[in-house]
Structure 1
Amino acid sequence: MPLGVVLRRLPGVTRWASHSWKAVAVLPGAGSADWQELRREGEAVEYHAATLLLELHGAETEAYLHGLSAAEPAIYVVMRECPGDQPLEVVLVTASPYEAQDYTDSGEEIVEKVPMPAGLMAWVQGFVTDFHQDEAFVKRKRDKTRTDLTQDGIGDPRIATAADIYASPARQRRRVH
């Protein structure tokens, strides 16, 4: 499903940052856009920065369920800073909190959590209903082989007797000339 990403530019709070950017909304079914201005209120400006495809995968349904069960289900927007006219490049939109977490590990991408609209929530839930399969818990079984009955591999071949293992090295006396 195509998702438009809305970014808001606000004036900077410190003298080192002239502006701050935040992903504030997604637009399900949006057409293509390239930093189209949507709204301006004083110094705050909202842009339809980009439209990307939200792809759902059958192997990720557990992650989607986890995201849908959150207090506020969200879409995660992954962005990178870039030089040029547009300060951010929108790289990815995902409904998987696990995938979003993977992008935060490198520290190069900016990951923002945006509230998931109700219609999109229903679409993701429908996908999960159709494709999710619970994995049965399989308890690991121990190997019955007893490894304590043999003494192979014990010690260093340079140690002659077992009593030598704990013996301290002999002191050597130096002669002073």
Structure 2
Amino acid sequence: MTHQTFRVGVVVARRPSASPWTQHSWRVAAIVPEAPSLGAGQVLGEEGAETMIYAGTGEVEFHRVETANYRDNLVAGRPSLWVTLEPVDGEPGIRLVAVTADPAEGESMTEAGELLVEVAPMPPEMAEALAAFVREHHVERVFTKRKRE
């Protein structure tokens, strides 16, 4: 198998913003393995000043050509997922765009205008699956510097 896919649910916390330029601030509150069958935007409850909202379901794909990036993610000490969110008008005010385990892809999303990129802990069962995927598919590529003629 050249790639593997996991469905995850993303729960975000919305709180009133102290900034005069934005109404709310957002953070990823949880990544739920085996995404529940909830509708995106559903309010799950309140915890103090924060409103917990189900942002939606995302698919995290592991591709064999990205195993070096996944390995870097795993050895960093805290395997993570990069969650990309987009502020939208109306309720709940946010839309899930993507979820990735590739640090390079996550970083590249930070350059895409108004998108918010949050780093969240990867669920342990997904980290184990990613480690197995890397063990099975990783091929070390040797860097060879070219010489001019």
Deviation per CA, 1:86-136: give whole Å up to 9, x if none.
Answer: 211110000001001111123331110001121111011111111111112
1:10 to 8, 11, 15: 15
Aligned residues: 143
Matches within 5 A, 1:154-165: none
Q: Which residue of 2 aligns with 1:66?
A: 72
User: How far, CA to CA, are the matches of 2:76 and 2:44 in structure 1?
Assistant: 29
- Higher mean C-alpha displacement, 39-48 vs 95-104: 39-48
CA shift at 1:17, angstroms? 3.9
Change (3 A) 1:119 1:83: same
Alignment check: 8 A CA contact 1:2 1:31 kept = no
Deviation per CA, 1:36-77: give whole Å up to 9, x if none.
Answer: 333322322212210111111111111111111113221000
| Runs of at least 5 residues in structure 1 that lack an aligned partner in the other structure | 144-177
Q: Larger % of strand: which? A: 2
Alignment check: 8 A CA contact 2:41 2:91 kept = no
Q: Which residue of 2 aligns with 1:85?
A: 91
Change (3 A) 1:2 1:25: same
2:138 to 126, 132, 135: 132
Larger radius of gyration: 1
Q: SS of the counterpart of 1:54?
A: strand
Which structure has the higher relative contact order (CA within 8 Å, separation 6+)?
2
Q: Identity over aligned residues, as a percent?
A: 36
Q: Which residue of 2 aligns with 1:19?
A: 24
1:46 to 48, 52, 55: 52
TM-score, length of structure 1 as denominator length: 0.74
Q: SS of the counterpart of 1:135?
A: coil
TM-score, length of structure 2 as denominator length: 0.86
RMSD: 1.7
| Runs of at least 5 residues in structure 2 that lack an aligned partner in the other structure | 1-5
User: How far, CA to CA, are the matches of 1:139 and 1:20 in structure 2?
Assistant: 46
CA shift at 1:32, angstroms? 3.3
